[in-house]
Structures are given as C-alpha cells and as structure tokens.
C-alpha cells in the first residue's frame, strides 16, 4: 500500500523476539541481493566508464527528485505540511511517530463515517478527514527530516499506517455498496494493483534519490543494515516487515544493467531526457493519486465508480512503469540522447 510521499519518517521501537527460523527465512532476501552485489564488482572495473564519480549538479538532482512527487502532494499537501512545522515543530514531546499514529486515527474515523453514516454532510466530513490524514502523512516526514530522525524503520511504520488507511476506506466503500462477492473481488483487485503501484513508486524513487544524491544503492544498503540488526538479535517487528517488503521490491523491480551497475547508469542519465520522463511518470505512478480518486468517491458517494477508476488507473500506470524502467535503466544513454540533451 501506498507509502507516503515522504516515506522516511521517524524510527520505531516495537520489539519483536529474535528467532533463528525468522533469521534463516531472510536467506531469500539475501539471494535477491547476490546478483545485484555482483554488479558492484563489475562497476569497480568500469574505469572511466563508471559514472559514480560524475558530478551531478544539485539543481538537476533536486529537479528530478521533485518531479517524482505526485501532483496533490507537491502542490498543496507538502506546502501545508511545511506550514505546520513552525507551529507543531515547537512541541518538544511531539515525535514523527506520534504524527503517524494520529493520521492512522484520522483514516479510521473517515472510514467509519463512510461505512456507518448517511447524508452528504457526513461524507464531506469524511473527505476532510481523509485529506487531513494525507497532510499529516506528509508532515511526519517533514518533522523527521527537520529533527534528523529519519530512518528505515520509520519508513516501515509509515507504510503500515498508509496500508491501514487505504484498506479501511476501501472496505468501508465496499460495505456501503452491498455487492457481495463482486464487491470483495473489486476491492481486492484495486488494493492489489494499488499496492504494486505504491511499491514500485517507493522503490524507484529511493533508487533515483540515493544514486543521484549520494552515489550509492541505498535500497540495498538499507536491506543489509536491517538484516544485520535482525541476525544480531536486535530486530524489531518493523525491521522484519522492512526486510521482507524491501526484498520483495528488489525481486520485482530491480533492473540489472547490461553494461554497468545501476547507480552508474542512473548518474550517467542525470541529464538525459529519457530519465526525466521516467521520473515524471513516477509522479503519476504513486498510488496517492489513486487514494485521491477514492477520496473524491467518498465525497460524492460514487463508491463503485471511484474504485473502478482507481483500479484501471493503477493497472495502466504500473504496466507503463515496468516497461519504461527497463528501457531507461538497463543501459547507458546513447549518443543520440547525449546530443539531444546538449542541444
């Protein structure tokens, strides 16, 4: 389910007992890393061809990363979240986790209104609660960055929170439709492709961000870090969740370049129009767009239509992204692309 546009929120400390069978089950994730790690050895011998040392202007990096954010978050949710920082950021005991728990409550309240109330006034209130939840979803990350407390575990907590909100709202709509098994199938299909879209967006945005800003594969680094904590007996529930979630992303979305490593290809394409188009596509892939469709459905009472639209939207954007990612991230830019970007 949709991770927020700012998935790196605060760290969490929910304890989970360390078990040998859980640690051994991570071997599948380790296998997913092996072939990608071998690419690091390849890139070490690329010499001048490797793009790890290529300087990418910060203005270019910022423009690419900004273009991956979906329009609703970019144009009004994040500005609203940043406007809250001077006010709520002064509360010393308020943590990003507190904000995350709060927006879970807003999402549950909105779903309850959709499921159990009648009348347009209640639907308007549900819509408002949904949008407030989305702004708080942005704010927990804004607050975490401002205080320097962003972490992979906070990202996992945020993903769980978003999952709860979307599932409960979708189930509330299905309950109101009273379509029986057909409604359940529709909701499950919409949630499945919405989850795939959200996972793909989260993976590729992090891939681009780490490669362009830090010159490393931060996605794999996070998995290694979480796996090491679990194997040392310091794993948490969110740590287990994060490892399985991230390994699933690597297995499904990792693009293995033919003539280099992934980081080098991304940095080499920093000024390539094809990478810019791919980054812009990610802004529409984000299932926060699909969630916005559901919010409009809750406001207007068009529960069936909004779920059908969200399903079709998610399927189209996910397939488009899978195709374009393999066209853009598999090879270095061609001379024709180089000429186009320098023209």
Write the DSSP assignment of 289-301 as a string of letters: HHHHHHHHHHHHT
| pLDDT value, residue 333 | 77
Give a yes or no: residue 13 inside a domain: no
CA angle 291, 136, 186 (to 5 degrees): 20
Distances (CA, A) of 58 to 224, 279, 338: 27, 16, 20
| pLDDT value, residue 235 | 66
| pLDDT value, residue 121 | 94
Give a yes or no: residue 7 inside a domain: no
Give a yes or no: residue 8 inside a domain: no
In sequence order, the β-bridge partners of residue 150 are: 10
Q: Which domain holds residue 88?
A: 20-342
**Domain holding 186: CATH number?**
1.20.120.1760
Give a yes or no: residue 15 inside a domain: no
Give a yes or no: residue 192 inside a domain: yes
Which ranges constitute the DSSP H helices of 89-180? 96-116, 120-147, 152-177
Nearest to 272 by CA among 206, 330, 324, 333: 333
pLDDT per position as a tens digit, 44-76: 333 333 445 567 788 888 999 999 999 999 999
Structural domain total, the chain: 1
| pLDDT value, residue 37 | 45
Can you spell out the DSSP letters for 191-254? Answer: HHHHHHHHHHHHHHHHHHHHHHHHSS-HHHHHHHHHHHHHHTT--BHHHHHHHHHHHHHHHHH-
Give a yes or no: residue 73 inside a domain: yes
Give a yes or no: residue 311 inside a domain: yes
| pLDDT value, residue 3 | 52
pLDDT per position as a tens digit, 243-272: 777 888 888 999 888 766 888 889 888 889
Do residues 320 and 281 lie in contact, with contact meaning Cβ atoms separated by under 8 Å? Answer: yes
Distances (CA, A) of 237 to 158, 165, 313: 13, 19, 32
What stretches in the chain show pLDDT beneath 50? 2, 4-51, 338-340, 342-343
Burial class of residue 118 in the structure, from the number of CB atoms within 10 Å of its CB (0-12 exposed, 13-18 middle, 19+ buried): exposed
Give a yes or no: residue 9 inside a domain: no
């Amino acid at each position: 389910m949709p991770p927020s546009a700012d998935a790196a929120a605060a760290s969490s400390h929910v304890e989970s007992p360390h078990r040998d069978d859980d640690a051994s089950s991570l071997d599948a994730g380790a296998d997913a890393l092996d072939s990608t790690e071998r690419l690091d050895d390849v890139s070490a011998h690329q010499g001048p061809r490797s793009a790890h040392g290529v300087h990418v202007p910060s203005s270019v990096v910022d423009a690419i990363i900004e273009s991956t954010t979906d329009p609703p978050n970019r144009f009004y949710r994040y500005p609203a979240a940043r406007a809250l920082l001077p006010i709520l950021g002064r509360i010393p005991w308020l943590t990003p986790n507190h904000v995350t728990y709060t927006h879970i409550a807003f999402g549950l309240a909105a779903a309850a209104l959709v499921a159990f109330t009648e009348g347009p006034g209640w639907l308007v209130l549900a819509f408002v609660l949904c949008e407030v939840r989305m702004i708080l979803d942005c704010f927990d990350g804004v607050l975490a960055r401002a205080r320097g407390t962003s972490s992979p575990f906070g990202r996992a907590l945020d993903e769980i929170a978003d999952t709860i909100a979307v599932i409960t709202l979708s189930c509330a709509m299905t309950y109101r439709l009273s379509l029986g098994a057909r409604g359940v199938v529709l909701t499950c299909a919409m949630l499945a492709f919405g989850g795939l879209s959200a996972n793909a967006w989260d993976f590729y945005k992090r891939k681009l961000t780490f490669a362009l800003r830090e010159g490393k594969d931060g996605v794999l680094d996070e998995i290694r870090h979480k796996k090491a904590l679990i194997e040392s007996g310091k794993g948490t529930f969110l740590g287990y969740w994060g490892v399985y979630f991230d390994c699933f992303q690597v297995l499904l979305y990792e693009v293995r370049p033919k003539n280099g490593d992934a980081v080098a290809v991304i940095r080499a394409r920093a000024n390539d129009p094809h990478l810019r188009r791919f980054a812009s596509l990610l802004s529409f892939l984000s299932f926060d767009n699909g969630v916005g469709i559901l919010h409009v459905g809750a406001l207007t009472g068009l529960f069936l239509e909004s779920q059908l639209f969200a399903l079709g939207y998610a399927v189209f954007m996910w397939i488009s992204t899978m195709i374009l990612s393999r066209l853009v991230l598999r090879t270095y830019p061609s001379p024709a692309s180089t000429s186009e970007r320098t023209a």
